[in-house]
Amino acid sequence: MRYIVTGGYGFIGSAVVRQLTQAGHEVYNLDKKTYAANPSAVAGCAVQNIHACITDRPAVSALFKAARPDAIIHLAAETHVDRSIDGPSAFMSTNVDGTFNLLEAALDWWESAEKQEAFRFVHVSTDEVFGDLGPDDPIFDEHTAYAPSSPYSASKAASDHIVRAWRRTYGLPTVVTNCSNNYGPWQNAEKLIPTVIRKAVLGAPIPVYGDGLNIRDWLYVEDHARGLIAACEAAPGETLLFGARAERTNMELIQTLCALLDEMRPKASPYADQISHVTDRKGHDRRYAVDPSSAERAINWHPDRSLEDGLRETVKWYLENLDADLVDQDDRLGLSRS
């Protein structure tokens, strides 16, 4: 099959590209190569890389005409909540306008291809569009009302609504997916788990927002990528939620990572001694968790890795692959080591 993957140099996108190419599919990767891009994550993959932004309508239209895809898996997005608070404009441009461009180009191609029945537009979103949960609230499902809290989640919520409108109005065969927090190898250095590992190994304070009791459900990235590929076979109009039923507070997660580092790279004092509480994020959502029953029913998807196994693999990978770049990454991100 022929796939377009947007954001294929990114964390989740590169996992999708690796799995598709390993299975022998033809892949076109559309990626702007922003700060979050890591071409090394798909090095060696037989993929055609197109360096352009999804807001570039001529480039997007030309890609559809050249690729004649069986499916598009749309992952390209600005995703970091802190960055969205400091500069929301890029999030509105990429996540909203870029998704609109892709839908218009996909619709033009789909109609010119005589409405190919098997075609799917898989739009990858986040559980953050649902807002946050209280400690005893039922977890998010595909029927949960939207209540985004940050500029990032608001921009993703807008793009979800636009995708569904193109399905309802024009009949474009779309599928919307929402996922819980992803983790695993190749994640951008500014995200929580890579930051904890980097700071720990540098001997720097390990930052924890607020009281550290914010709760997230953690999903291994390769499990999510497998689900996204399977979503290309889902019925048009489906909403699929991907989660691992693995809720942890941020403090619990960080303490687990510190314990793994104590085991895998021991030093004189426990890594947990480096944990340091910092000022909480503005509008910090308290709890996210999703019910993956929709994906289990529709595409027979289940995560393969437990959180414990996945975290062990992740820490091992970072210790083996990022030693030489630890200090450089910290300096490049402007993150204090004091």
pLDDT of 338 higher than 70: no
What is the identity of the amino acid at 299? I
Mean pLDDT, to the nearest integer, of 222-247? 98
Active site residues: 127-128, 152
Coil, helix or strand for 2? strand
pLDDT of residue 334: 39
| Residue 166 and residue 110 in contact, taking contact as beta carbons nearer than 8 Å | no
pLDDT of 336 higher than 50: no
More confident residue, 248 or 335: 248
C-alpha 236 chain-centroid distance: 22
**Tens-digit pLDDT profile for residues 166-197:** 999 999 999 999 999 999 999 998 899 999 99
Q: For residue 28, name the pLDDT band (cuts at 50, 70, 90).
A: very high
pLDDT of 323 higher than 90: no
pLDDT of 324 higher than 60: no
Q: For residue 337, name the pLDDT band (cuts at 50, 70, 90).
A: very low
Percent of the chain past pLDDT 90, that is, above it, reads 86
Mean pLDDT, to the nearest integer, of 21-35? 96
**Tens-digit pLDDT profile for residues 288-318:** 999 999 999 999 999 999 999 999 999 999 9
Question: Considering the chain, what is the average pLDDT of its residues?
Answer: 93
The 10 Å CB-count burial string (b at 16+, else e) for 210-240 is eebebbbbbbbbbbbbbbbbbbbebeeebbb
The angle that helices 151-170 and 99-112 make with each other, rounded to 10 degrees, is: 20
Between the CA of residue 130 and those of 85, 180, 288, what are the distances in Å? 18, 11, 9
The overall longest dimension of the chain from CA atoms, in Å, is 67
- What is the distance between the alpha carbons of residues 27 and 20, in angstroms, rounded to a whole number? 7
Q: For residue 220, name the pLDDT band (cuts at 50, 70, 90).
A: very high
Coil, helix or strand for 260? helix
Kindly write down the DSSP assignment for every residue of 31-80, as one continuous string: E---TT--GGGGTT--EEEEE--TT-HHHHHHHHHHH--SEEEE------
Angle 283-287-290 (CA atoms, 0-180°, nearest 5)? 125
pLDDT of residue 283: 80
- Going by C-alpha positions, the residue among 154, 100, 90, 159 that lies closest to residue 124 is 159
Instruction: Give me the torsion for CA of 28, 105, 100, 190, rounded to 10°.
Output: 10
Q: For residue 333, name the pLDDT band (cuts at 50, 70, 90).
A: very low
pLDDT of residue 325: 53
pLDDT of residue 327: 45
Lookup: tokens for 246: 């693995």
16, exposed or middle or buried, with CB in 10 Å at 0-12, 13-18, 19+?
buried
Mean pLDDT, to the nearest integer, of 116-128? 95
**Tens-digit pLDDT profile for residues 87-119:** 999 999 999 999 999 999 999 999 998 778 899
pLDDT of residue 321: 87
Between the CA of residue 88 and those of 94, 100, 154, what are the distances in Å? 10, 18, 10
pLDDT of residue 113: 86
Angle 204-338-191 (CA atoms, 0-180°, nearest 5)? 55
Superfamily of domain 2-184+219-245+283-305: NAD(P)-binding Rossmann-like Domain (3.40.50.720)
- Residue recorded with tokens 């197109």: 50
